[in-house]
Structure 1
Amino acid sequence: MTLRYEIIAVTPFRQNCTLLWDDETGDAVLIDVGGDVPFVLAETAKRGLKPAAVWLTHGHLDHAGGVAELLSQYDVPVSGPHQDDAFLLEQLPQITAQYGFPVSPSFEPSRWLQEGDTLKVGNYAFEVMHIPGHTPGHVVFYCKDAELLIAGDVLFYETIGRTDFPRGNHADLIRNITSKLLVLPEHTMVLAGHGRTTTIGHEKRNNPFLQG
């Protein structure tokens, strides 16, 4: 029984869309479908999978911009982000046009997520943590059994998410990372929203934003 993942970089912002699946059951989810939907679906099909759900960490265009297009092909539930990011999903048509992305319609997820909610892929349960700061409604997904954290734009290799966007808050971000993420086991693998993977232990020791 193995939980597997594949990182699929999408959009000109090279956002890490994550294909996550349970090898035993064949259940699969796509996390942060920011764009390049034909490519994402081709990579999914290449592994003999089809998406059963979409999970979103937050509402920025490079994470949520491809969801409406995917839903036109697969009628699957969308979970996340927290409702505090509703304003970002409402603004998707204007923001995607502004950045020269394919224009995305606004949408509302099937389920807004809150601290302590649980999502499942196959036999694996993921705890939802609300980590505001990069955006007010940002959530992350943690699977204790798989020792895996899907962190979106909260925590990166030796850095943290930007907080200069509308309704960002640097103090909130640091406080939430420190109190909720750095207390996880040090060998927990962190899949960030951009760039390479890291671990909780590495960030505790080497991330200049999280020292002291």
Structure 2
Amino acid sequence: MMAKQKMNINELYAVTGKILVEKGYAGFHFKLVSDQLNVSRSTIYEYFSNKDELIASLMVHLMDTIMAEYDGLDRISEPLEKLRRIFDSFMKYAHLHQILLFAPFVNGESSPSVKKDLVTLRQQHHTLTRVLTEVIDACKEAGSIRQDIPSSLVASLLFQSIQIPKNKTIEDAEWSEMIFRVLLEGYGTRDR
């Protein structure tokens, strides 16, 4: 009998995410993953019974990573500084959002663990949206953001800003700062 192959779950998640972005949900299968990790498909099946289980588990893992960024928000007193921290994490993890876009394709009925992971993913998304909206509302109360703009619009603009193609000649921190400033101050001149 052959010895059971070991597999690093973080490597599995990294390869899974990479293949999802390159091939899409329909083009994703365990053979591609096993080839890149140099393990047998049966090794992957020891951890996940189908691709939906693996993808759903990866998505929860990614959201856990993103949500961990918000643990220290309570220690920040200035609402605009909190908003900036949330925005910076959006930009930092922009590549992860590409993977999370595949959530609607995952078959929630393929197993109980997939169903559970998709519920967790929805809860995490609602928590993230609630935290963001609360911070936006606090910024409005502090006078940092205009009161006449709906908080949902501000949240959508912040979420969607990760889709802006990054200029490769600009450092990540500078790019993030530039986009945040444009969102906060607009792109018109002050003496219009």
Q: Give 1 or 2: higher helix fraction.
A: 2
TM-score computed with the length of structure 2 as normaliser: 0.28
- Whichever of the two has the greater Rg, that structure is 2
Write 1 or 2 for the structure with the bigger share of strand: 1
